[in-house]
Amino acid sequence: MAVRGWAVNPSVSLLVAILLPLFAAPLIALLGRRPNLREAVTLTTGGLLFLNALALVGPLLDGQRPALVLAEILPGLSLVFELEPLGLLFALLASGLWIITSLYAIGYMRGHHERNQTRFYVFFALAISAVQGVALAGNLLTLFIFYELLTFTTYPLVTHHRTPEAQRRGRIYLGMLLGTSFFFLLLAIVLTWQLTGTLDFRSGGILTGKADGLLLGVLLALYAFGIGKAALMPFHRWLPAAMVAPTPVSALLHAVAVVKAGVFAILKVVVYVFGLDLLNETDINTWLIYVAGGTMIIASLVALTQDNLKARLAYSTIGQLSYIVMGAALANGWGVLGGGLHIVAHALAKITLFFCAGAIMVTLHKTEVSQMRGIGRQMPLTMGAFFIASVSIIGLPPTGGAWSKWFLILGGLETGHYVAVGILVLSSLLSIGYLIPIVINAFFFPAQDNGGLKEAPTLSVIALTLTALGCLVLFLYPGPLLTLLRLMGVF
């Protein structure tokens, strides 16, 4: 591998991943008066961050699991980073899409004449740093720390406009995310520590033989609802609330980084804290399948009723996140594989959809679905990308979404949870209902305000084309991702 020679020391790379965006933030702040240079810093950091994550692929394939202990926070409990397949996948995804989102953001923020752009880029870099911390966390405590940091670094982004509306929604965002994580997640983590005396991620889990079925069930519930970023109902309201943010934030953070940090954490907990065998033995996971399924159906139904495009996409995200939670709850190899793959597939598709929503807003100043008749004629590239991404969300070939849905259905069949299979299919049908009419209206109706071709800012169009192509590429070449996920050792 070409990248293998580039890496100096894998455990140093782990630290670099967190520090790069962290140190970029003050630099961006200093360059506030020179926007081009400022954005160059963001893009360069993103590029370096992605390369840094790529360099970690080699050691992982060699079977290495380098770890780095940074500090002892509590006696016996450290701040520690560790290379792990799912985590690296998440780190790659977040850093790669950060570059594209930054490209998009330059076009969007300038095209939309947003104020306080420096603050925007600063907190964006800080949020990415927190995401890298979540991805590479070596134990539950470290994961929790960066999970919370992610909430606090995204709050200024959500409330970027500082309007009373932003303030009100910021309260929902912060209240719900902090409420769940402080009340349930922290309790779950302390309880795990008290039961097992460790918070490490170990294949096969750490809880086997440490508690009886009831307590384990309570613990799983504390984790599932405590990780509020996974937006499991009834703790999902923060996600639509977060849509008050500028679109690049909704795209990267509330379709990829933040929400994926949630489902990623759930997958980690299920695989490395409980262990799939323990869940199957005690059968404490079935209820979670139904909660996830219920979230899927209800969120899709709500999405059907939303006229605001961003709100509709937000509810779609809530439903799609539950695919991954369901994958974890199925507690078998196919489920975890499907869930892990869906982190990437949904990320590419949903970020494209948000990019498109933002592009329409900047160019045609339209936010409601009902206003979007005929816009396909004005913005063919944008709406073409929108179509491809919609197909991926629905889960049909030739897009990446097809694979993850396929594996999830296999997981449902293998474990005999036929209800789960039925829900997955129904959810696909519903997503056809809330996405495809937008495309049909856009292309098969004449433009409302007889304008000619009027595409979004070039950088933004490039970004959304790239991610739409990504959806297609993921269908053709899922191999590398599968190889990576296979290293988790559960299938």
Chain contacts with another protein (rule: CB under 8 A): 71-75, 79, 141, 144-145, 148-149, 152, 159, 162, 164, 166-167, 171, 174-175, 178-179, 182-183, 186-187, 190-191, 193-194
The four Cα atoms 467, 59, 87, 70 give a dihedral, to 10 degrees, of -130
Q: Are 389 and 471 in contact (CB under 8 A)?
A: yes
Smallest distance, Å, CB 368 to another protein? Answer: 27
Smallest distance, Å, CB 321 to another protein? Answer: 24
For residue 132, the SS3 value is helix
Rounded Cα distance, 350 and 61, in Å: 29
C-beta of 164 vs 452, nearer to another protein: 164
Smallest distance, Å, CB 176 to another protein? Answer: 11
H or E element: which one contains 323? helix 309-330
Q: Please list, in sequence order, all residues whose beta carbon lies within 8 angstroms of the beta carbon of residue 327, skipping any fewer than 6 positions away.
A: 267, 335, 336, 337, 338, 339, 340, 342, 407, 408, 411
Pairing of strands 67-74, 77-82: antiparallel
Smallest distance, Å, CB 197 to another protein? Answer: 11
Residue 218 sits at φ, ψ, to 5 deg, of -60, -40
Rounded Cα distance, 254 and 160, in Å: 14
CA distances from 132 to 73, 136, 146, 264 (A): 19, 6, 8, 12
C-beta of 68 vs 276, nearer to another protein: 68
Smallest distance, Å, CB 77 to another protein? Answer: 9
Q: What angle do CA 100, 320, 224 make, to 5 degrees?
A: 110
Smallest distance, Å, CB 83 to another protein? Answer: 22
C-beta of 36 vs 194, nearer to another protein: 194
How many of the other CB atoms lie within 10 Å of CB of 448?
14
C-beta of 191 vs 472, nearer to another protein: 191
Smallest distance, Å, CB 183 to another protein? Answer: 5
How many of the other CB atoms lie within 10 Å of CB of 362?
19
Smallest distance, Å, CB 73 to another protein? Answer: 6
C-beta of 108 vs 144, nearer to another protein: 144
C-beta of 138 vs 412, nearer to another protein: 138
C-beta of 167 vs 305, nearer to another protein: 167
The DSSP call for residue 457 is: P
Smallest distance, Å, CB 62 to another protein? Answer: 32
Biggest CA pair distance of the chain: 69
Q: Are 64 and 10 in contact (CB under 8 A)?
A: yes
C-beta of 7 vs 18, nearer to another protein: 18
Q: Are 412 and 421 in contact (CB under 8 A)?
A: yes
Q: Based on C-alpha coordinates, what's the Rg of the chain?
A: 21
Using the structure block, give the residue that is written with the tokens 């390369």: 51
C-beta of 53 vs 136, nearer to another protein: 136
C-beta of 60 vs 136, nearer to another protein: 136
Smallest distance, Å, CB 209 to another protein? Answer: 19
